[in-house]
Amino acid sequence: MKSEVLARSFEHKFVDLVLDEVEADGSFTGYASLFGKVDLGKDAVERGAFANSLRSRGAAGIRMLFQHDPGEPIGTWTEIREDARGLFVRGRLARDVKRAREVLSLMRSGALDGLSIGFRTVKARRDPTTGVRRILEADLWEISIVTFPMLPDARIEMVKSGRKRPSRPGSIRDLAERIRQATRMINKRGNAR
């Protein structure tokens, strides 16, 4: 019964992921949470929400899991800190773990690109007008690499191998790629004259 109550009080938030690159050794950086941004569950984590957790646990005390499965640890967090934007993370996949090697391959190919925080809400308030729950303090337990982040536009831009993820039609990345293509075409025409 006690574990059932504990399981119900533990939350998962699939949030924005911005992975700059994945290194050959499985290291990567990104944001596990963006402050003030409302997710699909109508929650917004506020700046300072993780401060007590990080002070008491540190990066070594926060687990890196695959899809929130406690039986699937896949690496370690080497740095977790709050900055002006959100919860910045730096981690390293454990290359001697089979699932971590699979995750690394999927991250490099762009097939897996989400982060999700697992936490217990300590303090929150709901905005009566919008219905948005503002999480003021969260007891952070784990950060998982996941398939579906709560924020749909949370995606990897480029991995260390240099392979770019295909752009979604109509996305900002798609627009930027079309502008680059047009610029290349204009430059080719100008050089051909």
Residues assigned a catalytic role: 68, 116, 142
Which token pair is 144?
């998982």
First to last CA, the chain: 78
Which helix or strand (DSSP H or E) is residue 47 part of? none
Dihedral over Cα of 127, 130, 136, 141: its sign? positive
* Type and span of the H or E element at 186: helix 172-192
- CB neighbourhood size of 102 (10 A): 14
The structure tokens listed for 149 are 């982040």
Q: Which two tokens stand for residue 66?
A: 């695959």
User: In 3-state terms, what secondary structure has residue 7?
Assistant: helix
**Could you give the CA distance from residue 169 to residue 53 in angstroms, rounded to a whole number?**
40
List phi, psi (to 5°) of 78.
-95, -20
Whether the CB-CB separation of 16 and 155 falls below 8 Å is answered with: no
